Amino acid sequence: MSDIPEQPKPQRGNPTWVPPALTREEKTRHVGKTPVFFGPPLAILTDGQKNTMEISGKLNRTAERYLEILRSHGLELTEAERLCIAHICNIGFMSPQEIRELPFEVGLTRFETPGLDKAALKKKLESASFADLVAVVESLGF
């Protein structure tokens, strides 16, 4: 055993947080019926469907496609840029409109850290697709 204390692991929302790796069994585990609140986005997605298997299939297909979008989008960001975006996102839930306004928010924020070029970051975010912006926000845990 080592005398060195274990370092605390970063939590979701921390720019260095990485989701835990899942084993193959965990990725395909059956969780049974899980109560899910159908807010407006899920209600719209499943509008008109009554069969729970069809609804479940639609949710799983949508989630699979969303995960693929996250894997194939995003931006190359420096640590300083990630910290700046995490600072902006730290308000909590990021609506689609707030995600679209990230370049604008970068121009307004007073956040400073060594190596941060806010003008370059703003330009990088302005040229990014919405999918790229969502992938960045998701990668930061927001």
Q: What is the pLDDT of residues 68-111, one digit of tens each?
A: 999 999 999 999 999 999 999 987 788 999 999 999 999 999 99
In a domain, 115, yes or no: yes
Q: Please check whether residue 14 lies inside any domain of the structure.
A: no
Looking at the structure, do residues 65 and 104 belong to the same domain, yes or no? Answer: no
Q: Are 138 and 70 in contact (CB under 8 A)?
A: yes
Q: What is the pLDDT of residues 8-66, one digit of tens each?
A: 776 666 666 666 666 666 666 666 677 778 889 998 999 988 888 899 899 999 999 99
> Residue 1: its pLDDT value, please?
53
Same domain, 97 and 127: yes
Q: DSSP character for 9? A: P
pTM attached to this predicted model: 0.72
Position 68 scores a pLDDT of 93
Asked whether residue 83 is domain-assigned, the answer is yes
Query: Quick check: 93 and 110 in contact, CB under 8 A?
Result: no
Q: Which domain holds residue 126?
A: 79-139
Residue 32 tokens, joined: 């049974």
Neighbours of 45 (CB within 10 A): 13
